[in-house]
C-alpha cells in the first residue's frame, strides 16, 4: 500500500482555508523531523469526532504524521503569526513551536484545526528550540480532557507522541509532540498583529474570515456585532472557569481565542482551598491573573481586541471608540449574569430572588474565612452530606444553612429536582493538582501511563458522582501548600 493509500485509510480530509488569507498572517514551513517517534496517547473519542480511523492512526504512517515527519495528502505546514499583550506588555509573537498541518472537515461538516505543538523551530521561535517536553504535553492532554468533561469550551488533544529526543530545560527531559484540535487558532493577538503590522485590507480580510468561520449568522460587515459575539462568549467562558475554581494562569491576549475556547494549559490549575487571591503560575509574581482578577482581565483583553478593530467599526476613530465603549461597558454585567446564573444552579436555586447574590457571597465569605475546599463544599451540599464539609460546626455556617433552606422552600421544586440541578452543576471531581502531578511523575519518570489513564477516565464525566470517583475527591493535605505551575516552554 502506498503512503497516500495509508493516509487515505486514516481518513484525513483537509481543506486549508487559512492559507487563502494574505501571506502576512503565516509562514509556510516544512516539518521538523524526529528520529524515533512513538505513540503514547491516542484520544479515540476525538479521532472519531474528526472522522479518523483510530486503529489506522496507530500504525506507523499515522504516527509519522503525529510526529511531524510527514504530511498527509492535503496537509500543509504553516506557523501562524500573531502578537499579544503578555502580562500587560505588547510584543510580536507567533507559533514558535507549533505547526498547523491542516483543517480537518469532519463527517458532520465541522472544521477543526490540527496543530502539532512541540514540532520544532519556526520563523517565530525567538531563539527557542521549538520543542516540547513530555510532561507539559501530557498535562495539556489531561487538563483539556477535564475541561471538556466539565462542559467548558476548550481545545482538545488528539494524541501525544514521544520523539526520542532529549529536551534541555531545568534538566534533561524526554521530548514530545501534542496534536491539538481547535475550532481555530485565531486569537485576539492575531488581530493585534495585523493592526500593528498590516493594512486595512488585511484586517478586513481577517475579520471577514473569522466571522464566516465562527459567526456565520452575522450579516456581512457587521464588525460591531462580531465584537459583541466574541465578548459574550468570553463573559460566559470566564464565568464557567470560576464556577469550577479554574485559574488559567496566563490570560495574555494571545491566549484568548476568537472562538471562545479555552487554550494553552501551561500554568493553569484548579483551586483547592477557596481563596479569591489564589495564583499558581510561577511567572505571575504580581497576581495579575489570580482567580478573582480573571473577569477584569477578560474585559481588559477585550478592550485591546476592540482597539485592533477600530478602523472597521467606523472610519472616524472618535466615533469608532464611542461605539465600542458602549459595548465594553456591558461586559461586567454580562459576566456577572452568567456567573450568578451558574452559582444559583450550584446551590439548587430555580428562578431569581433579590437576595440570592447576598446568599451566595455569604457562603463564599464563610468558605474563605475557614479555608474550605471549593469543590468539596459544593459536592457535600449537592449530596446532602453536610457533615462532610469543612464548614461543619464553623461559626456562621449554621445560620447560612437556615437561610439557604428557607430559600429552597420558597420554590415549587421537589428535593429530588433540587439535588438533580445541583449535581448537574457541581462536579464531584476536578483534576486535583496533586493527582495531575502524580500522573505526570509516573509517566515521565517511570514510563507508567496507567495512573494518567485512570485519572483521565474518571474526569470524563465529573458529574457522575460514581463510587470509582470517590478516591479522587479527597482534597490534598499540606503538600498542596505553595504549589506552583510552569509554562513548559
Q: What are the grid coordinates assigned to 305, written together?
A: 481586541
Cβ atoms of 188 and 261 within 8 Å: the answer is no
H helix runs in 215-316, sequence order = 223-243, 294-313
CB 68 within 8 A of CB 32: yes
Please tell me the distance from the alpha carbon of residue 238 to that of residue 450, in angstroms, as a whole number: 32
What span, in angstroms and rounded, lies between the C-alpha atoms of 223 and 105? 26
Q: Beta-carbon neighbour count of residue 55 at 10 Å?
A: 13
The 3-state DSSP class for residue 452 equals helix
At 293 the three-state DSSP class reads: helix
Which is catalytic among the residues 254, 272, 284, 390? 254
φ, ψ for residue 204 (rounded to 5)? Answer: -65, -40
Write the secondary structure of 379-400 as one string of H (helix), E (strand) and C (coil).
HHHHHCCHHHCCCCCCCCHHHH
Where do we find the cell 525567538? 126
Instruction: Give catalytic status of residue 254 as yes or no.
Output: yes
Beta bridge partner(s), residue 84: 91
Give the cell for residue 288: 495579575
- Give the separation between CA 178 and CA 116, rounded to whole angstroms: 6
Give DSSP secondary structure letters for 82-144.
Answer: -EEEETTEEEE---SSEEEEEEEEPTTS-EEEEEEETB---TT-TT---BEEHHHHHHHHHHH
Measured distance CA(233)–CA(257) in Å, rounded: 10
Cell digits of residue 471: 478516591
With H, G, I as helix, E, B as strand and everything else as coil, classify residue 186.
coil
Phi–psi pair at 278, nearest 5 degrees: -60, 130
Q: Tally Cβ neighbours within 10 Å of residue 415.
A: 10
Task: Please tell me the distance from the alpha carbon of residue 31 to that of residue 77, in angstroms, as a whole number.
Answer: 7
Tally: H helices and E strands in the chain: 17, 12
Q: Tell which residue, 475, 373, 485, 378, has the closest CA to residue 143.
A: 485
Helix axis angle, 317-328 relative to 294-313, nearest 10°?
A: 150
> Which residues are identified as catalytic?
254
Amino acid at each position: 500500500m502506498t503512503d497516500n493509500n495509508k493516509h487515505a485509510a486514516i481518513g484525513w480530509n483537509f481543506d486549508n482555508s487559512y492559507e487563502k488569507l494574505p501571506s502576512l498572517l503565516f509562514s509556510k514551513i516544512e516539518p521538523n523531523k524526529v528520529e524515533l517517534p512513538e505513540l503514547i496517547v491516542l484520544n479515540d473519542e476525538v479521532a472519531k469526532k474528526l472522522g479518523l480511523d483510530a486503529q489506522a492512526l496507530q500504525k506507523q504512517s499515522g504516527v509519522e504524521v503525529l510526529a511531524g515527519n510527514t504530511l498527509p495528502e492535503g496537509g500543509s505546514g504553516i506557523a501562524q503569526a500573531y502578537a499579544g499583550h503578555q502580562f500587560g506588555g505588547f510584543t510580536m509573537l507567533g507559533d514558535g513551536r507549533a505547526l498547523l498541518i491542516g483543517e480537518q472537515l469532519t463527517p458532520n461538516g465541522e472544521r477543526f484545526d490540527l496543530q502539532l505543538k512541540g514540532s520544532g523551530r519556526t520563523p517565530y521561535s525567538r531563539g527557542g528550540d521549538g520543542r516540547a517536553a513530555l510532561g507539559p504535553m501530557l498535562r495539556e492532554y489531561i487538563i483539556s480532557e477535564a475541561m471538556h468533561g466539565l462542559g467548558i469550551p476548550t481545545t482538545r488533544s488528539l494524541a501525544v507522541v514521544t520523539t526520542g529526543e532529549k529536551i534541555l530545560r531545568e534538566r534533561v527531559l524526554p521530548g514530545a509532540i501534542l496534536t491539538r484540535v481547535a475550532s481555530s487558532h485565531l486569537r485576539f493577538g492575531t488581530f493585534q498583529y495585523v493592526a500593528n503590522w498590516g493594512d486595512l485590507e488585511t484586517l478586513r480580510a481577517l475579520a471577514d474570515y473569522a466571522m464566516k468561520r465562527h459567526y456565520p449568522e452575522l450579516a456581512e460587515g457587521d464588525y460591531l456585532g462580531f465584537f459583541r459575539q466574541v465578548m459574550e462568549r468570553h463573559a460566559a467562558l470566564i464565568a464557567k472557569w470560576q464556577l469550577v475554581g479554574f485559574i488559567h494562569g496566563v490570560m495574555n491576549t494571545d491566549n484568548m481565542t476568537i472562538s471562545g475556547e479555552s487554550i494553552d494549559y501551561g500554568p493553569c490549575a484548579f483551586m483547592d482551598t477557596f481563596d479569591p487571591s489564589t495564583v499558581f503560575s510561577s511567572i505571575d509574581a504580581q497576581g495579575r491573573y489570580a482567580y478573582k482578577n480573571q473577569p477584569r482581565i477578560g474585559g481588559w483583553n477585550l478592550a485591546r481586541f476592540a482597539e485592533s478593530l477600530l478602523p472597521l467599526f467606523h472610519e472616524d476613530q472618535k466615533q469608532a471608540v464611542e461605539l465600542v465603549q458602549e459595548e465594553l461597558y456591558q461586559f461586567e454585567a454580562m459576566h456577572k449574569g452568567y456567573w450568578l446564573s451558574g452559582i444559583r444552579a450550584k446551590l439548587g436555586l430555580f428562578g431569581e430572588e433579590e437576595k440570592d447574590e447576598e446568599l451566595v457571597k455569604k457562603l463564599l465569605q464563610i468558605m474563605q474565612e475557614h479555608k474550605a475546599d471549593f469543590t468539596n463544599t459544593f459536592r457535600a451540599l449537592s449530596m446532602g452530606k453536610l457533615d462532610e464539609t469543612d464548614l461543619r460546626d464553623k461559626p456562621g455556617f449554621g445560620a447560612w444553612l437556615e437561610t439557604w433552606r428557607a430559600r429552597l422552600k420558597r420554590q415549587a421544586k421537589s428535593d429530588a429536582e433540587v439535588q438533580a440541578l445541583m449535581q448537574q452543576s457541581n462536579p464531584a471531581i476536578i483534576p486535583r493538582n496533586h493527582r495531575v502531578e502524580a500522573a505526570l511523575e509516573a509517566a515521565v519518570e517511570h514510563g507508567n501511563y496507567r495512573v494518567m489513564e485512570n485519572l483521565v477516565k474518571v474526569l470524563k464525566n465529573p458529574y457522575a458522582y460514581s463510587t470509582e470517583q470517590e478516591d479522587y475527591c479527597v482534597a490534598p493535605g499540606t503538600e498542596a501548600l505553595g504549589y506552583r505551575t510552569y509554562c513548559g516552554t
